[in-house]
A and B are shown apart, each in its own frame.
Chain A
Amino acid sequence: MTPTEYEYLRKFLKDNSGLDLSADKQYLIESRLLPLARKAGLSGIAELVQKLQGGARQLITDVVEAMTTNETFFFRDKVPFDHFRDHIMPEIIKARAGRRSVRIWCAAGSTGQEPYSLAMSLKEMGAALTGWRVEIIATDLSQEVLEKAKAGIYSQFEVQRGLPIQMLMKYFKQTGETWQINPELRAMIQHRQLNLLHDFAQLGTFDVIFCRNVLIYFDQETKINIFNRLARQIEPDGFLVLGAAETVVGLTDTFRPIPERRGLYKPNDPRTAAAKPVLAGAAPRMAVMAGR
């Protein structure tokens, strides 16, 4: 791949998906896009770039989807789901005892493992949520990924990553070589296509937003913009959950970390939080957080 082609793809991905690749991600592009180019009957990256420049619409969608990572498994990282069970939901159950409803958004729902993990956690809470209206909205950029999430069908390999065997037995049905999550859990989740770069105000406000392992692909300015818009979609006493290598610290004061609960954030009062970025010392602090 020539430097010109790489620069073109970088800018193309930035403009179309917000994905912000650093200067040294040639291998990533090659590993994801070469198979795609071959499948499309093209000779390689050079011809792929030509087609993109010519505005081949289907190919543009395919490239964006192929480059947006979908590495995911059930109860990924475990800790956020422990927080969800032991901290977030007990507080919500107390605070919403009157209206008995909870709205949850998985902002990078991917192939469904995260929303279904949350659905299983909620089911495990049993009687505490009897009579509650529970809404889980799972969004993702990729239509292909959403279709998989909607079907809730996973390979034997996928159901063995992060999922305790008792949960597999309880919430899945085996069909030949694959496992499908029960209709009751599937019905708990609404799947929608959404690009986080675009307006998402129409989704309404949420008590809990899971937005994990997606912001790491965006540049600083885009991250700040997304955080500020997320802040408008979250209840004043709601929770934001980020990935282990992500933080708001040094980027925005619309959210604040909850001490001793890694990855958990609360919205600040908008009257006191400045919507503008806090840039001083941002980069080194990010690096420290990422290395923990």
Chain B
Amino acid sequence: MKTCLVVDDSSVVRKIARRILEGLEFEVTEAEDGSKALEICQRKLPDAVLLDWNMPVMDGFEFMGHMRRLPGGDEPKVVFCTTENNVAHIAQALSGGANEYIMKPFDKDIIADKFAEVGLIPVGQAMV
């Protein structure tokens, strides 16, 4: 089973994302900010990170920079999932090492499409 780390300071968003990702057969762990997410990644890297941008303590962009520098840290697929819905932020995320980008609000179809896009799930699964 593939693993996905959901990083968001909203417990409601984490809960919704967990339900969707478990439906796509991911084993889900959660973190409420970038710093806690980094601790989890230092122990074991997930296959995917669904990543909010604005969070207390350490934001998503800073977390991604630290995670990418860990041994094997270039492996996980990072999918941003944020209300930062403008071109400047998207460009910054992509050049900083993000694989895909979801603009909130999101739903199951968008997550499935984006995860299929980066090869985390087969394309067929996204169509269901």
Taking the nearest CB of chain B, how far is it from the CB of A39, in angstroms? 26
Once the chains bind, are B94 and A174 in contact (CB under 8 Å)? no
Binds B, one of A126-134, A164-172, A188-196, A252-260: A164-172
B91 CB–A CB distance under 8 Å: yes
- Known contacts A78-B123, A164-B100, A169-B87: A157-B110 contact under CB 8 Å: yes
Instruction: Contacts A77-B127, A78-B123, A165-B100 given; indicate if A174 touches B114 (C-beta within 8 A).
Output: no
Cβ contacts B89-124/A at 8 Å (1 or 0 each): 011001000001111001001100110110000010
Kindly state the separation between the CA atoms of A156 and B104 in the bound complex, as whole angstroms.
9
Determine if A160 is an interface residue (Cβ-Cβ < 8 Å): yes
Kindly list chain B residues whose C-beta atoms are within 8 Å of the C-beta of A168.
90
Pairwise interchain contact A160-B94, C-beta atoms closer than 8 A: no
A165 near B113: Cβ-Cβ < 8 Å: no
A164 contacts B90, CB within 8 Å? no
Partner of A174, one of B86, B113, B117, B127: B86
A26 to B: closest C-beta gap in Å: 26
A169→B94 contact, CB < 8 A = yes
B117 near A161 (CB under 8 angstroms)? no
Q: Look across to chain B and name the residue whose beta carbon is closest to the beta carbon of A166.
A: B94
Contacts of B110 in A (CB 8 A): 157, 160-161
Q: Can you list, as one digit per residue, whether each of A66-90 has a CB less than 8 Å from chain B (1) or not (0)?
A: 0000000100011100000000000
A156 & B102 in contact (Cβ 8 Å cutoff): no
> Is there an interface contact between A164 and B117, defined as CB atoms closer than 8 Å?
yes
The yes or no answer to B11 lying at the interface (CB within 8 A) is: no
Asked whether any CB of chain B lies closer than 8 Å to the CB of A162, the reply is yes
Task: List chain A residues, Cβ under 8 A from B86.
Answer: 174
- By the criterion CB–CB under 8 Å, are B113 and A160 in contact? yes
Beyond A161-B110, A162-B113, is A174–B87 a contact (Cβ under 8 Å)? Answer: yes
Docked pose: A174 CA to B85 CA in angstroms: 10
A156 to B102, CA, bound (A): 10
Contacts of A79 in B (CB 8 A): 123
Contacting pair B91 A160 (CB below 8 A): no
Complex Cα gap A276–B127 (Å): 35
Chain A residues, CB < 8 A from B117: 164-165
Mask, B32-62, CB within 8 Å of A = 1, is: 0000000000000000000000000000000
CB distance from B116 to the nearest CB of A (A): 8
Nearest CB in chain B: distance from A157 CB, A: 7
Q: Which of A157, A162, A169 contacts B90 (CB 8 A)?
A: A169
Q: Which of A147-202 contact B (CB under 8 A)?
A: 156-157, 160-162, 164-166, 168-169, 174
Q: Chain B residues near A169 (CB, 8 Å)?
A: 87, 90-91, 94
CB <8 Å contact, B101 and A165: yes
Q: How far is the CA of A174 from the CA of B87 in the complex (A)?
A: 7
A212 nearest CB across to chain B (Å): 13
Instruction: Provide the residues of chain A in CB contact with B114, threshold 8 Å.
Output: 160, 165
Contact A165 B127, CB 8 Å, known A156-B85, A160-B110, A160-B113: no
Contacts of A78 in B (CB 8 A): 116, 123
- CB of A161 within 8 A of CB of B113, answer yes
Q: 17 other contacts beyond A165-B101, A169-B91, with CB at 8 A cut-off?
A: A77-B127, A78-B116, A156-B85, A160-B103, A160-B106, A160-B110, A160-B113, A161-B109, A161-B113, A165-B90, A165-B94, A165-B100, A165-B114, A169-B87, A169-B90, A169-B94, A174-B86
List residues of chain B with CB under 8 Å of any chain A CB: 85-87, 90-91, 94, 100-103, 106, 109-110, 113-114, 116-117, 123, 127
Q: Would you give 22 A-B contacts (Cβ < 8 Å), ordered by A? A: A73-B113, A156-B85, A160-B103, A160-B106, A160-B110, A160-B113, A160-B114, A161-B109, A164-B100, A164-B117, A165-B90, A165-B94, A165-B100, A165-B101, A165-B114, A165-B117, A166-B94, A168-B90, A169-B87, A169-B90, A169-B94, A174-B86
